[in-house]
Structure 1
Amino acid sequence: MSTSRRAELGEFLKARRAQVTPEAVGLPPGGRRRTPGLRREELAQLAGVGVTWYTWLEQGRSINVSGQVLDAVATTLGLNDLERAHLYSLAEATPVRTKTGVCADELVLAEILAALDPLPALITNRRFDILQPNKAYEDLFHDWHTLPCIHKNLLWCIVTEPLARQQLLNYDTEVPYLVARMRSAYVEHIGDPDWETDLARLRKLSPEFEQLWSKHEVADGEPRLRRVLHPVAGELSFTVTELGVPAHADLMLFVETPADERTRERLPLTRREPAEV
């Protein structure tokens, strides 16, 4: 960590500490205080960290900083998600994943997904965990699984499902792309127990994923064609567009729009008769 980054980290912590009153964390107001907010020793005690360590952290000294310890400090300071992310970034530490699910704006995102119907759409994180699909997306892959989902993850579902190759018609280009996208996101999560555990399991479970992962290929998000053989609607072609969620950097919104008129005419899928052979 550079000297300037350590200094910025220290200034950020001091500013946030000054905003936390003793009453807010259950401490008595005490006598006169030279500075507003908590004292360093009070914050260290509440966070369960050493006073000397925390003092050095604020002073910008070169010390080891772990995500678990930073998480305790962030909780004591009452940091919101954006402030936590800023703290981890300054410290160049791996954040601790504190919860699963979409986010505090779950209802808003759910409304957006519903409004996109009949276009298939879903929200994932950077690891492609499927956090929230809309009804049109579920209709598109309604008969996808012959095996129970071990892990509700877009990439896992594709590389472990026996029907994937026959129903995802451009499987040979889609899977390498998704693996490369995951590899690009992994750089920000190296050492994250959730990422490392999932990757180890998937590499062991899927020789195909292991081979692609070992190539260290990376890719940026870009519109791409996805061709699906639907059991009722027949062959469908979609343009997949990836959109970021500005308030939540780890989330992505995927929207599938018809790539041809034949596909457009067959939406919504649940109201169509089986395609003629």
Structure 2
Amino acid sequence: MKTQPDQRRELAAFLRSRRERITPDQAGLPHTGRRRTPGLRREELALLAGISATWYTYLEQGRDIRVSDQVLDALATALRLDRYERGHLFQLAGHAAVAVTEEPEPLAAEVAAVPLLLQPCPAYIIGGNYDVLSCNRAADELFPHLTAPANRPANFARWVFLEPAARDVLVDWEIEARGLLARLRTLAGRHPGDPRFTRLVEDLDAGSPDVRAWWPQYDVQARHGGRKRLRLPGRGVVEFAYTAFHLAEQPEQTLVIYSEPETG
């Protein structure tokens, strides 16, 4: 599959960010004196992956070259990528379908009603770019101003980074925010050039110094369930379990349900 310029730039940035994270000691390379840049040199990574240093440099320059599965496998191994990062690498290299659309994500009426049926458990449905597509009253109370933000679309990533109340509600705000940004980075990599993601990232970058600092680190992560500590009015800190379900016909849309774990 032919890659687009935006996609090649993303691939170059991802490779560079991962190369800079690996030390020569970790890679089993001998010390060669003082280094001007962090991590491995391009030629060192190329040697570890068994490819030409010049050819690898072309990749980091964003040139329009075709990359084989074997080369991607070798780079993933040399860069010590986990399975999510490896999948992200393959997608950026054009080994997965890329969809670009400006249309709103469709949500069937019967699907939009599901969070309402789950009341009083907080529940919402988010789109591929974290737009809040449906939300029940309990979730709206749990996350103040989530669906009625001032001068911006209802979007969970915008809420976390741009809504002042988020830092009070999310007890472990930095951990939660970093994880969300890594998941957004993964999803954005599947849709290079998609204006929904472009506008969202631009908004977050403009409004959040944390996004400006963390986005270049290029963390990627898959959506998942887990536990969250939330601060509630009149109750203090409460730990919630949350579960994420991907919709069958729209796999990037996710139903998220919160519940308080039973004690005893």
TM-score norm. by structure 1 comes to: 0.56
Unaligned runs of 5+ in 2: 3-93
Q: Is the 8 A contact 1:237 1:260 kept in 2?
A: no
Q: In structure 1, which of residues 88, 96, 99 is the aligned counterpart of residue 101 of structure 2? A: 96
- The count of aligned residue pairs is 173
Deviations 1:74-119 (A, max 9, x none): xxxxxxxxxxxxxxx999453323235x42x2x2113321221111
| Aligned: 1:197 with 2:202 | no
Q: 2:187 aligns with which of 160, 163, 185?
A: 185
Structure 2: which amino acid aligns with 1:95?
V
Give the counterpart letter for 1:115 in structure 2: L
Coordinate RMSD, CA, aligned? 2.8
Task: Give the conservation status (yes or no) of the 8 Å contact 2:144–2:165.
Answer: no
**What is the percent sequence identity of the aligned residues?**
23
- Residues 20-69 of structure 1 deviation map (CA, whole Å, 9 limit, x = unaligned): xxxxxxxxxxxxxxxxxxxxxxxxxxxxxxxxxxxxxxxxxxxxxxxxxx
| Higher relative contact order, structure no. (Cα contacts within 8 Å, ≥ 6 residues apart) | 2
Deviation sequence 1:103-142 (CA, Å, 0-9, x none): 2x2x211332122111111001121111110121112224
- Which structure 2 residues correspond to residues 1-277 of structure 1 after superposition, within 5 A? 1=1, 92-100=97-105, 102-103=106-107, 105=108, 107-142=109-144, 148=150, 150-261=152-263
* Greater Cα radius of gyration, structure 1 or 2: 1
Mapped to 2, the partners of 1:118 and 1:137 lie a distance apart of 9
Report how far residue 212 of structure 1 moved.
1.6
Q: Which structure 1 residue ranges, 5 or more long, are not aligned?
A: 3-88, 263-277
Which of 229-238 and 180-189 deviates more?
Answer: 229-238
Deviation for aligned residue 1:174 = 0.6
**TM-score, normalised by the number of residues in structure 2:** 0.58
**Displaced runs of 4 or more, over 3 A:** 89-94, 142-147
Contact 1:243 1:252 in 2 (8 A): yes
- Kept in 1, the 8 Å contact 2:119–2:137? The answer is yes
3-state SS of 2:113 partner? helix
Please give the alpha-carbon distance, in whole angstroms, between the structure 2 residues aligned to 1:110 and 1:93.
26
Distance 1:145 1:235, change over 3 A: farther
Indicate the residue corresponding to 1:25 in structure 2: none
Deviation of 1:166 after TM superposition, in Å, equals: 2.0
Q: Counterparts of 2:127 and 2:217 in 1: how far apart (Å)?
A: 23
Residues 183 and 221 in structure 2, CA contact (< 8 A), matched pair in contact too: yes
